[in-house]
């Protein structure tokens, strides 16, 4: 009995020792789960990671290339203020300016936005205070640009780095002094160009209703010399653009003198003029003088070479620029799908959507490369008509689905590739809009072109004095309907009285509430942005050597005909 008790005591002692050893072993074993979590936090930039100033600068630089700031998931130029407010709560408005509104959130972030879209993200994070001027330059080198800001309470230096084509990273610090030659960062800004520039907004806010309506009219002038009608278009109606037709040309020198006189008269107005001409090449080549002929688009289509088409576009741009114009109503993106078409024919590159898209866009880019505004035409496609809109209203009995498979394809591609202006044709599409021709149709302009094809550039009508319009509609009413449908500019290529009628009709429509001034402002912003983009100025044009221009044309033609 005594032995059994001794054995039991020994057994319990052995078990206790085993438990002690096991527990002691586990207490000294590394906690891998905990370590893994800690490592993950450090890799994610968690609170356990201590970053050097240089590491923090590199991190900020990396985020800036995506339009972001530290510890803020939103992106400048992409994120809308509504979604930011929904996540972070209503902010405090800290500033309202001509460029946009600035609001501040509780996490030391300020957001600048315009039309609900953010364009400036600013961070005042406390970690920035460990970064000195020398740290920034050590990592990023010298800035792209340096600016200074000073008022009664502030004296700052702003280092601006253009980190890519979209975003700027701005470091804002106290201006260095002898006592503080290496200041710490006050805040940073990730900036992208806002939807509308301050210059455009300033112009818009200073414009009268009459000035706005004038900008929406592209008018023709009389004869070959400046007259009282031209004077009235500039000073009374303040039109936004002038188109020259065959009747306005007699020579290159006369053309330059005529345009220079118009430019001179327009210097009393705030906004420079568009000067437009139809110079497609082939049968539509309106510039005077002994210019070497440029082949038709159909002939260019047979060559089927993108480089050749681009070179042709450059030549067209050089031609219209030499004569003093800044806009060319070309290229034609209509597909010549109807052999009985009386108005397009060899003005088209061919009967294939792919061919027209490739060569038309190459031509468009060639024109643009000369700082000339290209106008792609005639949306939604004039290639399958059997009548001429100059003489009557054509009909195209196609559905939207059919247009999407052919006619719309070149325009869709051109929009993707940077089309600045789209011209709307006068075509009735009864399966899409049984009442209004395309130039007056909300379905065609707003629903299809604006919304479906995502086009936000300038829309201009074809000439409203064509029989397709004036034989079926009052020209003033038609122009109002066109603007209501989404057009920005109404083309009125012939007749001073027609331009005056359209001006008065648009003005009355705004005054009686048929058109809102907000709708007018949408078009004016697009027009002003385009003039700003091409840096238009009413400067005098000098004479040019037509022989030099002809040699350039012949050189391109010989290269591809060789």
Here the CATH number for the domain that contains residue 456 is 3.20.20.300
Q: Does 36 reside within a domain?
A: no
The helix, strand and coil proportions of the chain, stated in percent and rounded to the nearest 5, come to 45, 15, 40
Q: What CA dihedral angle connects 471, 472, 476 and 482, to 10 degrees?
A: -120
- State whether 248 and 205 are in the same domain: yes
Do 357 and 389 fall into the same domain?
Answer: yes
- Domain identity same for 345 and 428: yes
Residues 416 and 392 in one domain: yes
Residue 249 included in any domain: yes
pLDDT above 90: percentage of residues in the chain: 80
| 45-97 tens-digit pLDDT | 444 567 999 999 999 999 999 999 999 999 999 999 999 999 999 898 778 87
**Paired sense of beta strands 109-114 and 117-123, if any:** antiparallel
Q: Quick one: pLDDT at residue 107?
A: 86
What is the spatial distance between Cα 21 and Cα 24, in angstroms, rounded to a whole number?
A: 5
pLDDT < 50 stretches in the chain: 1-3, 19, 21-47
Residue 97 domain flag: yes
Domains: count for the chain: 2
Tokens at 327, concatenated: 């806009």
Q: Which domain holds residue 57?
A: 53-195
Task: Tell whether 435 is covered by a domain.
Answer: yes
Structure tokens given for 258: 């005529």
Residue 78 in domain: yes
- Answer yes or no: do 296 and 339 share one domain: yes
Q: Is 390 a catalytic residue?
A: yes
Lookup: tokens for 360: 């038309």
Query: Which tokens is 214 given?
Result: 């004038």
CA 196 to chain centre: 10
Whether residue 258 sits in one domain with residue 181: no
Domain identity same for 285 and 304:
yes
Domain end position, chosen among 141, 176, 195 = 195
Q: How high is the pLDDT of residue 385?
A: 66
- Cβ neighbors of 248 (< 8 A, separation 6 or more) are 220, 221, 223, 224, 255, 258
Cα 169 to Cα 530: distance, rounded to the nearest angstrom: 26
Same domain, 176 and 225: no
| Of the residues 139, 169, 195, the one at which a domain ends | 195
Q: Which of 120, 278, 384, 462 is catalytic?
A: 462
Peptide bond before residue 331 is cis, with ω within 30 degrees of 0: yes
> What pairing do the DSSP bridges indicate for beta strands 155-162 and 241-243?
unpaired
Hey, what's the torsion of the CAs at 553, 557, 558, 562, to 10 degrees? 170
HSE, CB side, 13 Å, CA atoms: give it for residue 181. Answer: 1
Residue 391 pLDDT:
61
- Can 463 be counted among the known catalytic residues? no
Same structural domain for residues 215 and 189?
A: no
In a domain, 218, yes or no: yes
Report if residue 17 sits inside a domain: no
Of 195, 223, 256, the residue at which a domain comes to its end is: 195
In a domain, 547, yes or no: yes
What does the pLDDT read at residue 338? 77
Annotated catalytic residue: which of 390, 447, 477, 521? 390
Q: Are residues 260 and 397 in the same domain?
A: yes
Q: Are residues 438 and 471 in the same domain?
A: yes
Could you tell me if 177 and 215 lie in one domain?
no
Contacts 24+ apart (CB under 8 A), 517-523: 517/209, 517/212, 519/483, 519/484, 520/209, 520/212, 520/213, 520/216, 520/483, 521/204, 521/212, 522/488, 523/215, 523/216, 523/483, 523/487, 523/488, 523/489
């Amino acid at each position: 009995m005594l032995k059994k008790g001794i054995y039991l005591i020994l057994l319990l002692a052995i078990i206790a020792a085993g438990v002690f050893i096991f527990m002691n072993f586990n207490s000294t074993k590394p906690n891998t789960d905990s370590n893994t979590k800690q490592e993950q936090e450090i890799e994610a930039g968690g609170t356990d990671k201590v970053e050097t100033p240089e590491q923090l600068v590199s991190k900020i630089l990396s985020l800036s290339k995506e339009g972001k700031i530290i510890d803020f998931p939103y992106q400048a130029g992409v994120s809308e203020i509504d979604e930011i407010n929904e996540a972070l709560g209503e902010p405090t408005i800290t500033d309202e300016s001509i460029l946009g509104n600035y609001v501040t959130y509780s996490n030391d972030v300020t957001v600048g936005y315009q039309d609900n879209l953010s364009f400036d993200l600013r961070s005042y994070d406390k970690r920035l205070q460990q970064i000195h001027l020398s740290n920034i330059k050590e990592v990023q080198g010298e800035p792209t640009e340096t600016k200074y800001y000073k008022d009664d309470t502030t004296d700052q230096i702003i280092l601006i780095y253009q980190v890519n084509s979209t975003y700027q990273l701005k470091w804002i610090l106290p201006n260095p002094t002898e006592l503080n030659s290496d200041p710490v960062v006050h805040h940073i800004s990730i900036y992208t160009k806002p939807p509308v520039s301050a210059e455009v907004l300033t112009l818009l806010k200073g414009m009268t209703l009459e000035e706005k309506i004038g900008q929406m009219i592209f008018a023709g002038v009389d004869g070959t010399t400046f007259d009282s009608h031209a004077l009235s278009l500039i000073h009374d109606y303040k039109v936004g653009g002038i188109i020259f037709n065959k009747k306005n040309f007699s020579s290159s020198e006369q053309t330059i003198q005529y345009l220079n006189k118009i430019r001179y008269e327009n210097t009393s107005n705030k906004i420079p003029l568009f000067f437009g001409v139809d110079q497609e090449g082939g049968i539509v080549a309106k510039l005077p003088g002994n210019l070497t002929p440029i082949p038709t688009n159909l002939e260019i289509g047979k060559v089927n070479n993108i480089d050749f088409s681009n070179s042709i576009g450059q030549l067209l741009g050089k031609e219209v620029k030499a004569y003093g114009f800044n806009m060319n109503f070309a290229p034609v993106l209509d597909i010549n799908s109807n052999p009985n078409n009386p108005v397009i024919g060899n003005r088209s590159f061919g009967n294939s959507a792919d061919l027209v898209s490739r060569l038309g866009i190459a031509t468009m880019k060639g024109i643009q490369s000369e700082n000339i505004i290209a106008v792609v035409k005639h949306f939604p496609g004039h290639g399958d008509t059997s009548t001429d809109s100059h003489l009557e209203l054509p009909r195209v009995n196609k559905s939207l689905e059919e247009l999407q498979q052919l006619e719309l394809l070149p325009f869709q591609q051109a929009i993707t590739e940077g089309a600045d202006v789209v011209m709307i044709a006068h075509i009735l599409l009864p399966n899409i809009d049984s009442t209004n021709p395309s130039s007056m149709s909300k379905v065609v302009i707003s629903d299809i072109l604006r919304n479906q094809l995502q086009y936000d550039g300038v829309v201009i009508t074809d000439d409203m004095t064509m029989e397709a319009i004036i034989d079926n509609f009052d020209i003033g009413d038609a122009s109002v309907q066109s603007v209501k449908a989404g057009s920005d500019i109404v083309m009125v290529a012939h007749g001073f009285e027609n331009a005056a009628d359209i001006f008065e009709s648009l003005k009355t429509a705004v005054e009686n509430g048929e058109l809102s001034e907000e709708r007018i402002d949408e078009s004016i912003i697009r027009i002003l942005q385009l003039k700003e983009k091409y840096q238009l100025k009413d400067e005098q044009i000098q004479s040019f050597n037509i022989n030099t221009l002809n040699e350039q044309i012949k050189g391109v033609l010989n290269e591809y005909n060789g």
